[in-house]
Structure 1
Amino acid sequence: MTAPLLAVHGWGFNAGFWMPVLDRLPDFRGDCIDMGFYGTPKRPKVPRPLVLAHSMGLAWALANIPRPWAGVLAVNAFPRFTRSPTFVDGVPPRLVERMLARCDEAPQQVAADFLARCGVESPDTSGIDAAPLKDELAWLAKCDERTALRMLPCPVLALAGTNDPIVPQAMSLASFAPETLTLVEGAGHLLPLTHPDWLATQVRLFAARLEA
């Protein structure tokens, strides 16, 4: 039987982010995490899921979703975001620190600026909930789930864009084993929105591989 899907969005988004892909997979069971940036959080429990994780969603899933998993498909994702002596391809910590410093006074603008940088046209952050937004951003600044990723006893497939403005190609190469990573030439940070048909096909192929 095909593993149920559990989709996890990244910072600044909500569960609806994954719908362009999930709408193309009507025969799959599953559910979505919602971190509550725009309303009530949602933490469904899905037994032995195939985790679909976008951006920060991978690190969040590694820290919060109980194992076992059937597999994980990481999209524009990472287990650690900020630079450190052991992760030189991360982003400078000051970039996240600047966002955090602005979150108390202008959370809607901080989120809107980030979403626009991701490639979202005219993002609407009017309904943003500042508390979880800032809490998860503070966690993002210090999270490091690289060991958890390496220790996963399930298959991993990572998909990333070569023109991602949030997760540079070097970060993707530093985060995933070469045999697990597929780079999409010219793609940015929003593969589930810009390449939903292709991504749905990748989910199907990966799920079939897990059943074999």
Structure 2
Amino acid sequence: MTTLLCVHGWGFGGGFWESLLARLPDFESERIDMGFYGEPYIPAVRRPLVVAHSMGLAWALAHIPRPWAGVLAVNAFPRFTRSQHFIEGVAPRMIERMQARFAHEPQAVTADFLSRCGVQAPDVSAIDPVPLDEALAWLGKCDERTSYLMLSCPRMALAGLADPIVPKEMSVASFPAEELILAEGGGHLLPLSHPDWVASQLRQLAARA
């Protein structure tokens, strides 16, 4: 059976996937944890079906060996910052300002970001600033667009039309139209706010994998 390999985004941990995986009891699954709140955990899974949220997609493309059985990108992107050939990205200075403040107020920056994502009263008391800072710096320069388009496995991208982190324009510019499904009213936390819908889309993708 194909194993789901779930990859969280910046500021989150492996527990992010609890609600979604509870709706997929018939699937084998593993969760990557980047160590933002404790020890990192990077399982080796042969030919996984990658389920990636936000920065997790770019991270997976850069770090998880191929081949993959498939990939479900949720509120995700292969590149985040703006460039000459990706004008839909976020201005690099926004990441730079976030980095500068993070050096002095890591908990406040992390809490502010999670609140903007839609997390109510985020608990950041246990964060490890070092991997968070390193990931933030990497986020500002990563570009895995070619890697994504070179994937030979089935692909699907889910995005929310009310996402405050990844606006519609970025999603449309990041994924081929035939792969992108937009959720009316969906924010940046589709696996938490729309777990049944995400699980249904994942089952459809898995049937093709």
Mapped partners of 1:29, 1:80: distance in 2: 29
How do 1:89-128 and structure 2 match up within 5 A?
A: 89-128=88-127
- For residue 19 of structure 1, report the CA deviation from its aligned partner: 1.0
1:186 matched residue in structure 2: 185
Mapped partners of 2:120, 2:93: distance in 1: 26
1:78 matched residue in structure 2: 77
TM-score (norm 1): 0.97
Mapped partners of 2:56, 2:125: distance in 1: 22
2:3 matched residue in structure 1: 4
Mapped partners of 1:136, 1:84: distance in 2: 19
Cα deviation 1:162-188 (Å, max 9, x = unaligned): 110000000000000000000001111
2:55 matched residue in structure 1: 56
Find out whether 1:25 has 2:24 as its counterpart.
yes
Contact 2:71 2:155 in 1 (8 A): yes
Contact 1:74 1:159 in 2 (8 A): yes
**Secondary structure in structure 2 of the residue aligned to 1:160:** strand
Mapped partners of 1:61, 1:163: distance in 2: 25
Mapped partners of 1:52, 1:147: distance in 2: 19
Cα deviation 1:127-149 (Å, max 9, x = unaligned): 00000000000000000000100
Look up the equivalent residue of 1:186 and give its one-letter code: G
Look up the equivalent residue of 1:201 and give its one-letter code: S
Mapped partners of 1:44, 1:76: distance in 2: 23
Find out whether 1:155 has 2:162 as its counterpart.
no
* Alignment RMSD (CA, Å): 0.6
1:144 matched residue in structure 2: 143
**Secondary structure in structure 2 of the residue aligned to 1:31:** strand
Moved over 4 A (4+): none
Contact 2:154 2:205 in 1 (8 A): no
Q: Structure 2, unaligned stretches of length 5 or more?
A: none
Q: Structure 1, unaligned stretches of length 5 or more?
A: none
Mapped partners of 1:75, 1:207: distance in 2: 15
Mapped partners of 1:52, 1:58: distance in 2: 8
Mapped partners of 1:124, 1:95: distance in 2: 23
1:195 matched residue in structure 2: 194
Contact 1:30 1:46 in 2 (8 A): no
- For residue 209 of structure 1, report the CA deviation from its aligned partner: 2.0
Contact 2:155 2:205 in 1 (8 A): no
Mapped partners of 2:96, 2:22: distance in 1: 36
Find out whether 1:131 has 2:133 as its counterpart.
no
Mapped partners of 1:163, 1:201: distance in 2: 20
Look up the equivalent residue of 2:119 and give its one-letter code: V
